[in-house]
Structure 1
Amino acid sequence: MPFVPVPKDLTKVKTKVAFNLTKRQLICFSIAGAIGTPSYLFLKQHISTDLAAIAMVIIMLPLFFVALFEKDGQPFEKLARNYIRSRFIKKRKRIYRTKNYYKLLEQQNQLIKEVTPIVQKPIKQKRQTKRYKK
């Protein structure tokens, strides 16, 4: 009977499309091939084939990195976007502010104290005018 290992955490399992690669890896590798092959063919005419191959690998390495790198379940793009956002776009110093609910309750109580006499005053005046009409 063959033994098949089954991972305990199924959230880490990714669907493989072709050649045991994910869709993301296939796209990045094909873009790397589309960029690396013409660069190799162009550089081979001007420099030796060894240097052209090394240059091709150096050109393709960032795309390989993007395809394969993943940290804490996040791909490279999300990590880079979060880093750029926290490092350059957002403010570095975050001020800790809380809402003082006690102060809000006091303001509400003060408003109620101010408004209730104003609201109840016309009611008393209306009652008094009705009495005089009789």
Structure 2
Amino acid sequence: MAYVPVPKDLTAVKTKVLFNLTKRQLVCFSGGALVGVPLFFLLKGPAGFSAGAASLCMVLVMLPFFLTAVYEKNGLPMEKIVRNIFRVLFLRPKQRPYQTNNYYAVLARQSQLDKEVRRIVGKKAKTGCEAVIVPRREASDRSRRRKGPADR
């Protein structure tokens, strides 16, 4: 009786369409053939290349298509790997500083504002003025404010 090995992870199974190739492989191989075969005949005839040189040029032109169809590392296809390398080398900054949310600095800034408000209120009370100016909190301070029992 014939046995067929069944992989434990079924997400790695790819459906085959034609000639035991996936749709992706079929598209890449046919794209390589559409570019490489006419190039071979163009180089062999009018350009004066020998058959060996023309076939070598054809293979070099078709190689990226074949790599795109077959090569896969850590579940990523070739074009995603090339895109990630391009992003790292050219688009992203070389130095990425480590940044944190410093809650102590927010509390210290709030304490300074509270002291300033108390100082202003104390001056206004001595002069008899009724208007009290309360400095506005920054957006970052407002979002990190602790909720009291009345806010819940």
User: How would you bin the TM-score normalised by the shorter chain?
Assistant: 0.7 to 0.9
Moved more, 43-52 or 29-38: 43-52
Deviation at 1:48, TM superposition (A): 2.2
Q: Does 1:103 align with 2:91?
A: no
Give the aligned partner of residue 39 of structure 1.
Answer: 39
Unaligned segments of structure 2, at least 5 residues: 131-152
Do residues 29 (structure 1) and 50 (structure 2) align? Answer: no
The aligned counterpart of 1:66 is 68
Shift of 1:110: 4.5
Higher relative CO (Cα under 8 Å, sequence separation at least 6) belongs to 1
1:131 alignment partner in structure 2: none
Report SS of the residue matched to 1:94. coil
Structure 2 residue corresponding to 1:84, chosen from 77, 86, 94: 86
Question: If the length of structure 2 is used for normalisation, what is the TM-score?
Answer: 0.68
Identity of aligned residues (%): 50
Question: Unaligned 5+ residue runs, structure 1?
Answer: 126-134
- Determine the C-alpha separation between the residues in 2 that align with 1:81 and 1:56: 25
Say how many residue pairs are matched: 119
CA RMSD in angstroms, aligned pairs only: 2.1
